[in-house]
Amino acid sequence: MNAYIEILRPWNAIMAVIAVILVAIINGNFSTDIFLACAVVFIVTGAGNSINDYFDHKIDAINKPKRPIPSGRIPLKTAGMYSIFLFILGISIAFIINFLLGVIALLSSFLMVYYAYDLKRRCIIGNLSISFLTGLCFVFGGIAAGEIINSIYLGFYAFLMTMAREIVKDMEDVEGDKEEGATTFPIIYGNRKASIFAAFFMIISSITSPVLYYLGLFNIFYFIILSIAIIIFLISAKSILKDYSVLNAKKISKRIKIGMGIVFLAFALGSNYITNFFFKLML
């Protein structure tokens, strides 16, 4: 893979784009603004990943030497300039869509840079930043689609699920983070309390997410598919509370990721737009 594409972590950026696409599917809106919003989210997320590698180049030289900067495929200064260019490009496109999205892209970019520089090593604040940005992708798409309220609901649940995974990932990386001088929740309070914190977010998202069906935002297919994710989250919560070891944290982190994927699938297949589309095909 080309180094300048690799440093963007394209699959990670595509996952952010999926949030915008899901909002478009739910609202049946596939306007030019939606496609431009997808471009903005991909570019700005990629820029965030790139600037993260810029600030982490010394650590990556030891832990991940094959990454573009420590491997020498992209000079450090070039990586910094590349990140700035991408941020400016993404923000500019966002302002073309509308002023509000431009402001959101601008502020999000500043948050990404500050996160990479400092916040990622701080207790809770780093987790909140990533979770907030994840949920904001849905809101960003909602503004582009002209449906803000529903996108806030989706963003809220994306925030809860991401917080659970962020805490579990910190439990998984506790030894490496200690060497880097980080002050994550598990380092300060221990994995036992971190497991309770992570389980809290999994349980809250599980027992409250069906409300989106009762609000009429999704149909019965959402409820059916969501049930699978709820089972995964509740089993994961029980598991992490019983065994908060690093090994189990790695397993739970993967399970949460799978659960999130199923929830996003429920968002898509449970939308009235998709259901009506399939019904029309069958008639």
* Class of the CATH domain delimited by 1-146: mainly alpha
142 or 182, greater pLDDT: 142
- Are 54 and 85 in contact, with CB atoms under 8 Å apart? no
For the chain, the straight-line distance linking the first and the last C-alpha, in angstroms and rounded, comes to 45
Helices 125-145 and 32-55, packing angle to 10 deg = 160
Q: Which residues contact 247 (CB under 8 A, 6 or more apart)?
A: none
Lowest-confidence segment of 10-14, 42-46, 199-203 by average pLDDT? 10-14
pLDDT value of position 27:
84
- Are 20 and 88 in contact, with CB atoms under 8 Å apart? no
CB atoms closer than 10 angstroms to residue 185: 22
CB atoms closer than 10 angstroms to residue 11: 7
pLDDT value of position 102:
97
Does pLDDT of 157 surpass 70? yes
pLDDT value of position 215:
86
